[in-house]
């Protein structure tokens, strides 16, 4: 594999607002490689520097220091005129779709081709092909205001693909859409990647978007890359605290302290949360427990698929001989994470329970 976009020690500083305000390090010493033909997710909270990073990649913003390579070309010092040719190989889609209100669907998709000087008959054929590809061939004569958000984003995607870009930059492209429409747009992005081979850089603050379509994840915080890697590895074993928080928004399954207390009142057995992954799939957890003559029933949990690989957590109520249970847990702990939370006392009326009452047995020395 080869990198289609490479950043080497790239920083972008903005002057602070108001006199004496410190400079804003929007992007701070970032190095990364985007492999050709992959879907990469750039994730982080608002203000992390994600949009600035994509604007650096398409040359809308110039770096303060470092080097940026796009399709093998060093764009760091390119004059504006030459940047335009680099940009023509990059499609861009936006959160608010950015369609021209005064033009029809056809006119919006045709626009970049007109600007690029395509002849009329070629434009017509290409636009029809694109509208068909994104599934809105019947909407060609409509105006954007008469389309749903999902349809407008399809127009935006068709427009971005018009010039056969090798790279597609999607900045929060599903953040304005409802969950169902988001899912449709994500499926479309995945199809573009698979059928056209387009490299896609997805900027998002939503981890479920990453779970659905990204091959690799780059986690940003305060302008820096704090973690990156294959999506499954980052989800299964997040290293930084902020990545862990992000992952927990898309992989559910661990009961909170309130839920645990409620579960404990109805399930008298030992409550144990077991990590489910490729290294410890549900059937092998079940057979390990059975080997040790421990009965188990699932009382809470969530198991999902990431890059076609299983991942999640199941909380079991275990019943049987205490020593058998201990031996079974020790056995399981060799391949996966085991949490046996201490169930705190119910909070007295009007006070909230301190977090420390939810201890994880697995983290004790």
Ligand X SMILES: Nc1ncnc2c1ncn2[C@@H]1O[C@H](COP(=O)(O)OP(=O)(O)O)[C@@H](O)[C@H]1O
What residues line the site for ligand X (CB under 6 A)?
14, 24, 26, 44, 46-52
Q: Which does 301 bind (CB under 5 to 8 A by kind): ligand X, Mg ion, none?
A: none
Give least dist CB 168 to ligand X, A.
17
Nearer to ligand X, 61 or 128 (CB): 61
**3-state secondary structure at position 100:** coil
Closest distance of CB 77 from ligand X, Å: 21
Q: Which is nearer to Mg ion, 51 or 199 (CB)?
A: 51
DSSP string, 18-49: STTPPPEEEEEEEEEEEETT-EEEEE--TTSS
Q: How far is the CB of 92 from Mg ion (least distance, A)?
A: 13
Binding partner selected for residue 348 from ligand X, Mg ion, none, CB under the kind-specific 5 to 8 Å limit: none
Residue 228 beta carbon to ligand X: minimum distance, rounded to whole angstroms: 15
Cα 260 to chain center, whole Å?
A: 29
Contact by Cβ (8 Å): 199, 36:
yes
The conformation of residue 193, written as its DSSP 8-state character, comes to: I
Extract long-range pairs of 345-349: CB within 8 Å, 24+ residues apart. 346/261
Cα distance between residue 274 and residue 329, in whole Å: 9
Q: How far is the CB of 16 from ligand X (least distance, A)?
A: 8
Which residue number, 51 or 58, has a Cβ lying nearer to Mg ion? 51
Give the position of tokens 């898309």.
250
| Cβ 166 vs Cβ 134: under 8 Å | no
Name the binder of 351 from Mg ion, ligand X, none, CB < 5-8 A by kind.
Answer: none
178 contacts 184 by C-beta, under 8 angstroms: no
Listed residue (243, 255, 281) closest to 339, CA to CA: 255
CB of 24 to ligand X, least distance (A): 5
Interface residues with Mg ion (CB under 5 A) are 51
302 binding partner (options ligand X, Mg ion, none; Cβ < 5 to 8 Å by kind):
none
The option from Mg ion, ligand X, none interacting with 48 (CB < 5 to 8 A, set by class) reads ligand X
Given the complex with ligand X, which of 60 and 279 has the nearer CB atom? 60
Helix 120-133 vs helix 149-161: crossing angle, to nearest 10? 130
Least distance from C-beta 176 to Mg ion, angstroms? Answer: 13
The residue among 47 and 269 lying less far from ligand X, judged by its C-beta, is 47
60 vs 116 by CB, closer to ligand X? 60
Q: How far is the CB of 194 from ligand X (least distance, A)?
A: 27
Nearer to Mg ion, 204 or 277 (CB): 204
The residues with which 126 forms a beta bridge, in sequence order, are none
- What is the secondary structure of 304-360 as a DSSP string? EEETTEEEEEEEEEEES-HHHHHHHHHHHTTTS-EE-BPPPPPPPTT-PPPGGGS-B
| 3-state SS record for 126-151 | HHHHHHHHCCCHHHCCCCHHHCCHHH
Q: Which is nearer to ligand X, 204 or 313 (CB)?
A: 204
């Amino acid at each position: 594999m080869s990198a289609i976009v490479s950043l080497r020690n790239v920083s972008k500083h903005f002057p602070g607002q108001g006199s004496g305000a410190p400079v804003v390090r929007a992007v701070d010493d970032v190095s990364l490689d985007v492999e050709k033909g992959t879907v990469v997710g750039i994730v982080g909270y608002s203000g992390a520097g994600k949009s600035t990073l994509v604007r650096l990649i398409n040359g809308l913003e110039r770096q303060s220091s470092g080097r940026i390579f796009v399709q093998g070309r060093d764009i760091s010092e390119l004059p504006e005129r030459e940047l335009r040719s680099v940009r023509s190989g990059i499609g861009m889609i936006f959160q608010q779709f950015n369609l021209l209100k005064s033009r029809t669907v056809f006119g919006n998709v045709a626009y970049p081709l007109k600007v690029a000087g395509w002849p009329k008959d070629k434009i017509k054929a290409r636009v029809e092909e694109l509208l068909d590809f994104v599934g809105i061939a019947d909407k060609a004569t409509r105006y954007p205001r008469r389309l749903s958000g999902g349809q407008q984003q399809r127009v935006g995607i068709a427009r971005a693909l018009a010039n056969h870009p090798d790279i597609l930059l999607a900045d929060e492209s599903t953040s304005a859409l409802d969950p169902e429409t988001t899912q449709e747009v994500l499926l479309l992005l995945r199809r573009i990647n698979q059928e056209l081979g387009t490299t896609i850089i997805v900027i998002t603050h939503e981890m479920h978007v990453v779970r659905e379509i990204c091959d690799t994840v780059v986690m940003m915080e305060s302008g820096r890359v704090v973690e990156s890697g294959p999506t499954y590895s980052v989800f299964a074993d997040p290293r930084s605290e902020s990545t862990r928080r992000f992952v927990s928004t898309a992989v559910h399954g661990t009961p909170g302290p309130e839920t645990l207390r409620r579960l404990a009142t109805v399930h008298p057995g030992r409550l144990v949360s077991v990590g489910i992954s490729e290294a410890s799939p549900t059937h092998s957890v079940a057979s390990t427990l059975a080997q040790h003559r421990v009965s188990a029933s699932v009382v809470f949990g969530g198991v999902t698929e990431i890059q076609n690989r299983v991942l999640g957590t199941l909380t079991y109520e275990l019943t049987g001989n205490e020593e058998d249970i201990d031996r079974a847990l020790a056995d399981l702990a060799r391949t996966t994470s085991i949490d046996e939370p201490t169930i705190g006392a119910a909070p007295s009326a009007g006070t909230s329970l301190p977090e420390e009452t939810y201890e994880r047995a697995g983290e004790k020395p």
